[in-house]
A and B are shown apart, each in its own frame.
Chain A
Amino acid sequence: MTYKILVVDDEPDLEPLVLQRMRRHIRRGRYEFVFAHNGIEALEQLEADPNIDMVVSDINMPRMDGLTLLEQIPNVSPDIRAIIVSAYGDMENIRTAMNRGAFDFVTKPVDFDDLQFTIDRTLEHIEQWREALSTRDKLVALQNELDVASKMQQSILPTSFPSSPSYKTYGTMHPAKDVGGDFFDIIRLENDRIGLAIADVSDKGVPAALFMMSSRTLLKGSAIGTTGGPGAVLTEVNNLLNEDDTTGMFVTMLYAVYDPATGVLTYASGGHDAPLVVHPDGTSELQDLTGGIALGVLGGFEYRHESIQLEPGDTVCLYTDGVTEATNQQGELMGIEGVQVLFGSAPPTSAEQAGVAIMERVLEFTGEAPQHDDITCLTLRRD
């Protein structure tokens, strides 16, 4: 690549001298020189030509001297570095120039080998600086993207939890440091029934957040519109997600419908962990999987559902793998057994207490170990 160097000097003989002495580098395309005769002209050129990489400037010049120019350069081109040319032994001006941000200096009469060495050193510094800037910009862009994804994820979570004298619901999510893909939803259906959904999108970042938004919207639409059960809902959502997908993204989802009139919970799993039912005495059972595949993988798949009877005092816990795959500092997984042991000694007293207790258990188990996945649970207790 060719570096463009602006030489600023009121001495008319300097231009041909520079072109002569640097001719080999110019011919090889390493340097290109442009010239100005004072600080004002230099600033005009810098403003007009964003491709100038560095400045070599004399100090004593009419209209605007080199020291004033040094002060002004950052206002025009903040990333430009300057070398100052001063009289031999003029320490005062050299000190001033360095204090005003000059990268280096050479002394008169100009030794062109030294000048070339100093120019190269400066250009090398500029390269490193630009690389650092671009890395920082990439990091900032990435961070912005993650912030957007995180806000999208937070924005779709319900903030109020349906309840009635006969049941309560609760949901909570502890987001991973680097945005994950969990979400949950609670949907009011006809005849006082409610739909409970918990899901985990296979990827992170904005594309995953968009996939999450569309999954959630499709689920809500299908859940409210359908006359079929949870299996039919997942079948429909899956077909829609598969319509023109080439990203390979998928979402594991458990969708359940609770009917408070009967206490029956009907659920279908699309590649998601099975529900855990905890009884008032602290015993618990992991329910059967319904054999469904994660949504977005295989169009046309027919999802099945199962029904279970909840008795008064029973709590059903839906959760993501942030719970079961919580890992402690020794590298051990907590598993759903961790939750079962917890409730074995302290049975849930409410939907909210159960959700909070699971979350606390997971955070206690992982301790200082880094958390790579969202931790999410959704609970319903029949009172």
Chain B
Amino acid sequence: MAISAERESGTVIAKADGRIDGSNASEFQADLQGVIEDSDKALILDFESVSYISSAGLRVLLLTAKTLEGNGAKLALCSLSEPIREVFRISGFDNIIPIHDSQAEATAAIGG
């Protein structure tokens, strides 16, 4: 699991990859906190290269969403593989975190 991020006019786009599970969830959380700044308006997480996410990973996303919400900022996901999309569907997390097909779509949705 690794994270790379770039920032454009208050929107951070971060790419995660590999497995996100109980063994590296706290690292994932620290990485996300590291890329977010108080002034950011949105965090878009590109999950194209994520192969697996466990409930421990979902919990990190939930905490991140709450942190961002506290700052008046938004969290969105994009480019999920079908099995990962299924995890969000079954867990119902697609109810609280917007999921988009591509970075472009996510950026447009956040901007609008």
Give me the interface of A with B, judged by CB distance under 8 Å: 181, 200, 202-204, 248-250, 252, 269-274, 289, 291-294, 297-298, 301, 321, 372-373
Taken together as a complex, chains A and B put the C-alpha atoms of A292 and B91 apart, in Å, by 8
Q: Which residues of B contact A321 (CB under 8 A)?
A: 55
The listed residue (A252, A294, A372) touching B22 by CB distance below 8 A is A372
Within 8 A of A (CB), among B55-70: 55-56, 58-60, 62-63, 66
A262 CB, min distance to chain B CBs, angstroms: 28
Contact between chains at A250 and B62 (CB < 8 Å): yes
Q: How large is the interface on B (under 10, 10 to 19, 20 to 34, 35 or more residues)?
A: 10 to 19
Among A203, A248, A272, A273, find the residue whose CB has the most chain B CB atoms closer than 10 A: A248
- With a CB–CB cut-off of 8 A, which chain B residues contact A271? 90-93
A-B pairs, top 9 by smallest CB distance, nearest first, are: A293-B92, A271-B91, A202-B55, A248-B63, A271-B92, A293-B95, A202-B59, A248-B59, A248-B62
The answer to whether the Cβ of B21 comes within 8 Å of any Cβ in the partner chain is yes
Contacts of B90 in A (CB 8 A): 252, 269, 271-274, 289
Judged by a CB distance under 8 angstroms, whether B109 is at the interface is: no
The smallest beta-carbon distance between B60 and chain A, in angstroms, is 8
Given contacts A202-B58, A250-B59, A252-B55, contact A298 B89 (CB under 8 A): no
Give 24 A-B contacts (CB < 8 Å), ordered by A residue. A202-B55, A202-B56, A202-B59, A249-B59, A250-B55, A252-B90, A252-B91, A269-B90, A269-B92, A271-B90, A272-B90, A274-B90, A289-B89, A289-B90, A291-B95, A293-B91, A293-B93, A294-B58, A294-B92, A294-B93, A297-B92, A297-B96, A298-B96, A321-B55
* Dominant secondary structure of chain A at its interface with chain B: loop
| A-B pair number, CB within 8 angstroms | 59
Q: Once the chains bind, are B56 and A203 in contact (CB under 8 Å)?
A: yes
Residues of chain B at the chain A interface (Cβ within 8 Å)? 21-22, 54-56, 58-60, 62-63, 66, 89-93, 95-96
A292 to B89, CA, bound (A): 9
9 further contact pairs, Cβ within 8 A, besides A202-B59, A292-B92, A372-B22: A202-B58, A203-B59, A248-B60, A250-B55, A271-B92, A293-B91, A297-B93, A297-B96, A301-B95
